């Protein structure tokens, strides 16, 4: 991608009316645009990151047997009445259709997926089953001040698991905890993300959240110093200030953002929809369920909160919009400038030919070298390559990692080996 033709441009300053770090950086660098509070457009750079997160999650879900579907976002009132949530789900966006019937925009999809499963699940032979989607969700959030961390429209992966019994659910639930950590690892959040005990709702005593430590976090968690498992403040009182895992009382308080949440639903939703299966003995039983959510847009925003410095974003490798930010330092000397252009065009082609994604700052004219470097820092690709008269004198490009000061010269014929 050439910066000279990229749809967006960076801004000199962060948007004045944004308080959150993620929105300030992501908007200034041209990753997202705010339409209204809690509602954002993903721009080319932001969409690239989002798609990478999406693909990581898709890969990991498929590995544990997930089958992807796409459910509608527009849902009829009747299904929400079946579970009683039309009356109790405050954050539901409700609307009236031209048929004068009421609808809700999907905030979560138990009410859609459970009757759907009922069309295909009959016997124990049909279980277990893992169905997921990656889709825009709508919630009429009261506090939409945290940039893309708390959207009114946001993107979620929600997987619903269907089991014959609790033991089978427990097994999957444990496996999913590992898978979730794999996802956070690939997104560059592993060392700040903690498995956190949270209130469980009707079926199990606890649910589990994945909480990433950041001052921008809206939650308070207490991390056990001996086993590194955390507890959400909301449930801590019930536990007499002890770690629910090892009983230790040495807990460290941190602010954190919930980047994922997994629940054992039991038969909470299968019962109202009468989702049953016939067991090996020919007896009808309600299906036991689990539910596993991750906010993709929130993960992206969390990475922006956690991985940045005063100059801009610092993307973890696997989700960076581009691996390399290639910068030309233009010369006033026409011959020298042509040489720089030729060399950098070749580097651009060679890198792409070897499968390396490059953002090429090929801008000329008004844009100063200082501005180019500032943009490279703001956008935050992991590697910056600079081609100038000076580097070409030595048949080299200058290579620098984002977030580090050290620079090195790499021979032009070695450029595709830069990492």
Site residues for ligand ATP per CB under 6 A: 108, 139, 141, 150-151, 154, 156, 258-261, 293-295, 297-298
Q: Which of 203, 201, 242, 247 is nearest to 222 (CA)?
A: 242
**CB contact at 8 A, 345 and 364:** no
Closest distance to Mg ion from the beta carbon of 293 (Å): 7
SS3 33: strand
Buried b (16+ CB within 10 A) or exposed e, 147-156: bbbbbbbbbb
Q: Which is nearer to ligand ATP, 136 or 416 (CB)?
A: 136
Report how far residue 101's alpha carbon sits from residue 223's, in angstroms, rounded to the nearest whole number.
48
SS3 78: helix
Report how far residue 221's alpha carbon sits from residue 219's, in angstroms, rounded to the nearest whole number.
6
Q: Is 212 in the site for Mg ion (CB under 5 A)?
A: no
Read off φ and ψ for residue 324, nearest 5 degrees. Answer: -130, 135
Closest distance to ligand ATP from the beta carbon of 196 (Å): 11
Closest distance to ligand ATP from the beta carbon of 259 (Å): 5
Q: Taking CB within 5 to 8 Å according to partner kind, which of ligand ATP, Mg ion, none is near residue 325?
A: none
Closest distance to Mg ion from the beta carbon of 232 (Å): 9
Q: Which of 244, 403, 395, 392 is nearest to 316 (CA)?
A: 403
Bridge partner list, 277: 285
Q: Taking CB within 5 to 8 Å according to partner kind, which of Mg ion, ligand ATP, none is near residue 294?
A: ligand ATP
Burial zone of 115 (CB within 10 Å; 0-12 exposed, 13-18 middle, 19+ buried): middle
Closest distance to ligand ATP from the beta carbon of 233 (Å): 12
Q: Which is nearer to ligand ATP, 128 or 295 (CB)?
A: 295
Number of residues that bind Mg ion (CB under 5 A): 1
Q: Taking CB within 5 to 8 Å according to partner kind, which of ligand ATP, Mg ion, none is near residue 154?
A: ligand ATP
Report how far residue 13's alpha carbon sits from residue 200's, in angstroms, rounded to the nearest whole number.
43
Q: Which is nearer to ligand ATP, 146 or 344 (CB)?
A: 146
Read off φ and ψ for residue 398, nearest 5 degrees. Answer: -95, 135
Q: Taking CB within 5 to 8 Å according to partner kind, which of ligand ATP, Mg ion, none is near residue 260?
A: ligand ATP
Closest distance to ligand ATP from the beta carbon of 295 (Å): 3
Closest distance to ligand ATP from the beta carbon of 211 (Å): 9
Q: Which is nearer to ligand ATP, 154 or 373 (CB)?
A: 154
Q: Using CB positions, name the residue nearest to ligand ATP.
A: 295
**CB contact at 8 A, 410 and 399:** yes
Interface residue with Mg ion among 28, 214, 232, 261 (CB under 5 A) is 261
Q: Which stretch binds Mg ion (CB under 5 A): 102-110, 139-147, 165-173, 261-269?
A: 261-269
Q: Taking CB within 5 to 8 Å according to partner kind, which of Mg ion, ligand ATP, none is near residue 60?
A: none
Q: Taking CB within 5 to 8 Å according to partner kind, which of Mg ion, ligand ATP, none is near residue 293?
A: ligand ATP
**Helix, strand, coil shares, percent, the chain, to 5:** 35, 30, 35
Under the rule (CB under 5 A), what is the footprint of Mg ion? 261
């Amino acid at each position: 991608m050439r910066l000279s033709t990229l749809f967006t441009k960076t801004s000199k300053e962060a948007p004045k009316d944004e308080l959150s770090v993620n929105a300030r950086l992501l908007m200034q660098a041209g990753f997202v645009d705010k339409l209204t509070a809690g509602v954002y457009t993903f721009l080319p750079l932001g969409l690239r990151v989002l798609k990478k997160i999406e693909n990581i999650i898709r890969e990991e879900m498929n590995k544990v047997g997930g089958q992807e579907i796409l459910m509608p976002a527009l849902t009829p009132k009747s299904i929400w009445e079946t579970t009683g949530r039309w009356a109790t789900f405050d954050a539901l966006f409700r609307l009236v259709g031209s048929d004068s019937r009421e609808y809700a925009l999907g905030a979560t999809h138990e009410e859609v997926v459970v009757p759907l499963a009922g069309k295909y699940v009959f016997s124990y032979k049909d279980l277990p089953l893992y169905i997921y989607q990656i889709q825009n969700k709508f919630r009429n959030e009261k506090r939409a001040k945290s940039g893309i961390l708390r959207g009114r429209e946001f993107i979620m992966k929600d997987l619903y698991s269907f089991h014959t019994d609790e033991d089978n659910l427990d097994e999957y639930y444990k496996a999913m905890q590992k898978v979730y950590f794999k996802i956070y690892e690939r997104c560059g959040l592993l060392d700040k993300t903690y498995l956190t005990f949270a209130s469980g709702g009707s079926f199990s005593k606890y649910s589990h959240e994945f909480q990433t430590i950041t001052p921008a976090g809206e939650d308070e968690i207490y991390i056990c110093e001996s086993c590194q498992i955390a507890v959400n403040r909301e449930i801590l009182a019930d536990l007499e200030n002890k770690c629910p895992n090892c009983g230790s009382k040495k807990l460290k308080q941190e602010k954190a953002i919930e980047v994922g949440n997994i629940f054992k639903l039991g038969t909470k939703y299968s019962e109202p929809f009468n989702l049953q299966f016939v067991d090996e003995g020919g007896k009808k039983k309600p299906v036991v369920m689990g539910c596993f959510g991750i906010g993709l847009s929130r993960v992206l925003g969390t990475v922006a909160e956690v991985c940045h410095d005063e100059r801009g974003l610092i993307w973890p490798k696997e989700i960076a919009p581009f691996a390399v930010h290639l910068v030309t330092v233009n010369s006033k000397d026409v011959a020298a400038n042509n040489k720089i252009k030729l060399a950098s065009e070749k580097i651009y082609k060679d890198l792409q030919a070897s499968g390396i994604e490059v953002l090429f700052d090929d801008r000329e004219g008004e844009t100063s070298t200082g501005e180019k470097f500032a943009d490279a820092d703001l956008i935050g690709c992991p590697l910056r390559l600079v081609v100038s008269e000076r580097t070409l004198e030595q048949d080299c490009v200058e290579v620098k990692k984002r977030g580090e000061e050290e620079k090195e010269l790499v021979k032009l014929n070695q450029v595709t080996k830069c990492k």
